[in-house]
Amino acid sequence: MATVRPTHLATMGSAHQPVVAQLSSQVTAKWELGVSLILDNWDVLTEAVNNLWGGEDSSGKRDWLAGAIVEMFVGRPETDEDDIEFTLLQVMEDEFSVCLEDDSSWVVARQIIVLRKEIIDGNFSTVDKLHAKFLAKPKNPSASSMLKEVVDPACSSSSEESEDDEEMGDAPPAAPSEPRQLRKPLEPTIDEEGFELVQKRRSRK
């Protein structure tokens, strides 16, 4: 089934291409690379991609998200951390069925804003370091990284927890500290009348 992209993201950039032309080809390339690298370093998204929570095209969805974030600045250069974080949370829920309870989405959003300013100022040191780190990473990272406190309990149920416990025998051995792993929630809850119950998003303080 084809993935339905958020409307406000899918239409970005089509009518504002001259804004992109104001950036040199080098700056544009570094900017696009930097966004992709920051998302690649986001553990929560990496876990979702490695476990194919977004389907067989999970990796492609991450690439699409990077492009969507770049496009956000095409029509709205004043895009800020809140705009980016909202997009990250929305895509994680809509495309990967993951709700977050930590502030990693805000950290990623802030990193993107800081990186953009550096690159526009001609400072490529951060993106070059990120690129070097990426090139040094193993090509096939484990899909069982240990993550702590990242899933909103409201997005999962007690039945899911029981199922997870039963399946632990097939999972890789946990680290000695046994941190909680990121888990994929069940399908949306349907009430007696057949309507989907909407989960309330956690507000960042």
Of all residues in the chain, what percent are helix, strand and coil, respectively (each to 5)? 55, 0, 45
Confidence of residue 197 (pLDDT cuts 50, 70, 90): low
Q: What angle do CA 110, 112, 116 make, to 5 degrees?
A: 120
Phi and psi dihedrals of 68, rounded to 5?
Answer: -65, -40
* Confidence band, pLDDT 50/70/90 cuts, at residue 191: low
Instruction: Please give the residue range of the domain that contains residue 171.
Output: 1-205
pTM for this entry: 0.61
Residue 196 confidence (pLDDT) above 90: no
> Quick one: what percent of the chain has pLDDT higher than 90?
53
The angle formed by the CA atoms of residues 70, 1 and 47, to the nearest 5 degrees, is 55
What b/e readout covers 26-38, taking b as 16+ CB neighbours within 10 angstroms? ebeebbbbbbbbb
Q: What is the pLDDT of residues 74-93, one digit of tens each?
A: 989 999 999 999 999 999 99
pLDDT band at 138 (very low <50, low <70, confident <90, very high): confident
Residue 10 in this model has a pLDDT that exceeds 90 = no
DSSP 153: G
Q: Count how many domains the chain has.
A: 1
Q: Which positions ≥6 away from 204 have C-beta within 8 Å?
A: 85, 103, 106
pLDDT digits (tens, 9 = 90+) for 27-51: 999 999 999 999 999 999 999 999 9
Contact indicator for 65, 94 with CB cutoff of 8 Å: no
CA distance to 53, 72, 101, 167, per residue, from 161 (Å): 17, 37, 17, 10
